[in-house]
Structure 1
């Protein structure tokens, strides 16, 4: 599980249960909801920097991602060490450069996995409804886009991290995760594309 935490620190987002927001007369995130794309498939590149508390130099990695709403997320690291993480509703699977694979988390053994992955999809796709159901959200001024800070509501989540900052335009572009232990993870997404809207045969097979 250490590999996944190193690559995808955002998986801590749904350790606790979802709390539903009461309906409000005015939606403070209406403009953000209107901007963020809700599409079946997104492809792009990522760059991650993780600053571990007590260490001077951050850990860096980069690669490509594929988000398919009806399948899951492919998180392909190209540097410093090639590998791939497959996140679906039922499991988290890692593939190494030599083709070997292992199941990191099985949904049958970890019933909360579906909630974790749902938050992962929400984070990468900018699903504001899902995010605001679990966090207190503060929108911040941003020129030509949007920016917000998410603060966990539950004590369980607060024990894992203190805040998540998101910014973007039609897509989520930057994520900053501050963990309760002092670690800081930054993710930047680029080269994002909605086309083609359907998965290729090879892409679909990689989710199996």
Structure 2
């Protein structure tokens, strides 16, 4: 009996270890998640970084809504069929896999990042997943397919219960840092307004 406490101590960290599979399962249990985002783009030829902020929504079975509020309004909707982007109230631009396959692939990948979709990630990246303890994790993705390997040197994700940060490092030395906060899991279904945005053409 004296050995039981030691065995429990040794096995406890193993039982609580986070893997990419457990992370994907965790995200799968979040059918609709809304969060605030802060984005900073550092471009080597510009003296100051470009900053923007707003609200985002990822719905597991529907797609991604990205509502930039500052420095100017920009709305983005992405689902399996198309991407619709409207900037500053201008007529929306529609991108599909037929009219712009590379852009659509990049934006479709963004949805896979938010959902930690292992199948999609393994098809496009070399994966380095690390359990950082205290339920925290990091995920470094190194592109292995074109055009991703021509654009990004790496993509870094990190978080705990939720995805909290995305860092896009491109081949030209520019960086995009996205920080997510104020995560909300309710309501667990889309509002009427959100459904209408996904249905818009």
Task: Please indicate, yes or no, whether the TM-score normalized by the shorter chain is above 0.5.
Answer: yes
The answer as to 2:153 corresponding to 1:139 is no
TM-score (norm 1): 0.77
User: Which residue of 1 is the match for residue 193 of structure 2?
Assistant: 202
Higher Rg of the two aligned structures: 2
Compared CA separation, residues 93 and 60, structure 1 to 2 (3 A): same
User: Which residue of 1 is the match for residue 100 of structure 2?
Assistant: 110
Following TM superposition, by how much is the alpha carbon of 1:128 offset from its aligned partner in structure 2, in angstroms?
Answer: 2.9
Equivalent pairs, count? 179
User: Which residue of 2 is the match for residue 85 of structure 1?
Assistant: 76
User: Which residue of 2 is the match for residue 64 of structure 1?
Assistant: 55
Compared CA separation, residues 111 and 185, structure 1 to 2 (3 A): closer
User: Which residue of 2 is the match for residue 120 of structure 1?
Assistant: 110
More relative contact order, 1 or 2 (CA 8 Å, 6+ apart): 1
Whichever structure has more helix as a proportion of its residues is 2
TM-score (norm 2): 0.79
User: Contact 1:89/1:107 (CA < 8 Å) preserved in 2?
Assistant: no
Q: 1:119-150: CA deviations, max 9, x gaps?
A: 22111122233212311111235232101211
- Indicate the SS of the match to 2:119: helix
Compared CA separation, residues 140 and 56, structure 1 to 2 (3 A): farther
Structure-2 separation of matches of 1:160 and 1:61: 22
Compared CA separation, residues 181 and 73, structure 1 to 2 (3 A): same
The answer as to 2:167 corresponding to 1:179 is no
| Runs of 4+ residues over 6 Å off in structure 1 | none
- 1:18-97 to structure 2, matched below 5 A, reads 31-35=19-23, 36-38=26-28, 39-97=30-88
